[in-house]
Chains A and B, each alone.
Chain A
Amino acid sequence: NAGVTQTPKFQVLKTGQSMTLQCAQDMNHNSMYWYRQDPGMGLRLIYYSASEGTTDKGEVPNGYNVSRLNKREFSLRLESAAPSQTSVYFCATGELFFGEGSRLTVL
């Protein structure tokens, strides 16, 4: 999807390891979001940022931290990964544009 770039696209972690998912947008949108999607489930909101410098919890924030570095970038950090965090993570911006997803497996 043009305009929203997520990295990495795939990642395998061991339990307890930490990592950061990066999201960058070039559409000058104020709002950015992180969702997770588990098999057979809809998307669930983890955190969102209404504007640069602000972040708020979504539906499932436990185990995650976020950082809105600037207007373009919104990162999601797992400090101590758990197998329950195995999922596909989607970044979205301005509610209308989603990235291609980051597939995370925690062993």
Chain B
Amino acid sequence: DAKTTQPPSMDCAEGRAANLPCNHSTISGNEYVYWYRQIHSQGPQYIIHGLKNNETNEMASLIITEDRKSSTLILPHATLRDTAVYYCIVRVGHSGGSNYKLTFGKGTLLTVNP
């Protein structure tokens, strides 16, 4: 799986959009970009994933650059409860139950301020 680079920390004002970048310049053509977050002391939570098109769900949007070497996770209206460590991961395969392992780095600590 390709390696990712994320800033160690970011701040965001409550109600504003939080834009979390991720660099994955060695991504292969069959690798997906996944985002997870981990709120203090809890298990990681899946947020969103994509291959090359931008994706949106009820939690966030994922913007992947045309060359797929970087992506941005967007939380459109951050709340205090979005304070967490956000992990960007690239890997082959995309469905639950597949046989692929994940490798997590240190992620980005997003702090949403009132």
Which residues on A are within 8 Å of B, measured CB to CB? 1, 4, 27-31, 33, 35, 40-45, 48, 50-51, 58-59, 88, 90, 92-101
Which range holds the interface residue count of chain B?
20 to 34
Contact A31-B99, Cβ < 8 Å, known A97-B46, A98-B44: yes
Contact of B103 among A30, A45, A50, A93 (CB under 8 A): A45
Look across to chain A and name the residue whose beta carbon is closest to the beta carbon of B41: A101
Which residues on B are within 8 Å of A, measured CB to CB? 34, 41-46, 87, 91, 93, 95-107
CA distance A5 to B97 in the complex (A): 17
Instruction: Looking at the assembled complex, report how far the CB atom of A1 sits from the nearest CB atom of chain B, in whole angstroms.
Output: 5
Contact A59-B103, Cβ < 8 Å, known A43-B44, A97-B46, A100-B42: yes
**A contact patch SS:** loop
